[in-house]
Amino acid sequence: MPAEPTAARLERHLHGLRHGELRITRCCACGRAQFPPRSVCPGCHTAGPFVWETASGRATIWSFCVFHKAYLPPPAPQPPYTVAVVELVEGPHLVTNVVDADPTTLRVGEAVLPVFGPGGAAEVRFRPERGTR
By the rule CB under 5 A, 27 interacts with Zn ion: yes
Closer residue to Zn ion, CB minimum distance, 41 or 124:
41
By the rule CB under 5 A, 59 interacts with Zn ion: no
By the rule CB under 5 A, 44 interacts with Zn ion: yes
By the rule CB under 5 A, 95 interacts with Zn ion: no
By the rule CB under 5 A, 24 interacts with Zn ion: no
Kind and range of the H or E run holding 14: helix 6-18
Q: What's the CA gap between 63 and 115, in Å, rounded?
A: 18
Q: What's the CA gap between 126 and 128, in Å, rounded?
A: 7
Question: Interface with Zn ion by CB under 5 A: which residues?
Answer: 27, 29-30, 32, 41, 43-44
